[in-house]
Copies of this chain bind each other. A is one copy, B any other.
Amino acid sequence: MKVNVKLEVQYDGTDFNGWQIQEGQTGSRTVQSELKQAVEKVVKEPIVLIGAGRTDAGVHARGQVANFITTKPIPEEKWIPALNSLLDGDIRVTAAEEVPLEFHAQHSALKKMYCYYILNSQYADVFLRRYTLHCTYPLDIESMSAAVESLKGRKDFRAFCASGSSVKSFERTIYQADIFYRGKLLVFRITADGFLYKMVRTVVGTLLEIGKGKQPPEWMESLIEGGERIKAGPTAPPQGLVLEKVWYVE
């Protein structure tokens, strides 16, 4: 009998070469590879591990979702302790449940939320350096917020898609986007039905140019309309980015 198991996974991406198994690149840690190996040790058969989002090297997750089908399941409540006992401390399984066989962590996903964390201060903070971008220059939050507004809705986001992507359509729907302070951290939060390759980091790089006053808030909208990646801001570094949550049909 086949069982489909859905996992929620948290990881500190600092010491990983991203989510996805790198074919032929032995020696570089990936989250997918380590999690797949842990599952296979438990079920003692090869499995295919599907992830909701393929986070890049250095990007973190608080709510990544993965699934696999096995013919040798263990009791549902045993998955979390069994897998965590096999995983290094920088990956944790936080939830596990049996789901219908048709559930697919990537294709069934309705929307995803990412947050990007910025420490905007004169000096860096050693305890936050792995999980934030440190910006020493003053940022105009009002301009950045105005620019964020033009992201919302169904639009063609090819201006924020890095090369190396093979998607058919550059259209995505941004359901929610805002920028706010949480404690001393500036947070950019965005929820969409999907994201293009390095899209969030390119949007953040663009927002930072606006925050620094190098470009006006309207620049965001004109970039979307122009559709040329080369005109947008640089790709912000990975360590500020966290895949926070993935939603599915209940």
Contacts and interface: CB of A to CB of B under 8 A. Distances in A.
Interface of A: 10-12, 60, 62, 80, 84, 89-92, 94, 123-127, 129, 131
25 contacts: A10-B125, A10-B126, A10-B127, A11-B126, A12-B126, A12-B127, A12-B129, A60-B126, A60-B127, A62-B127, A80-B123, A84-B123, A84-B124, A89-B124, A89-B126, A89-B129, A90-B126, A90-B129, A91-B126, A92-B123, A92-B124, A92-B125, A92-B126, A94-B123, A127-B131
In the complex, the count of this chain's copies comes to 2
A121 to B, nearest CB: 11
Contacts of A131: 127
Contacts of A10: 125-127
A53 to B, nearest CB: 16
Given A12-B127, A60-B126, 10 more contacts: A10-B125, A11-B126, A12-B126, A89-B124, A89-B129, A90-B126, A91-B126, A92-B123, A92-B126, A94-B123
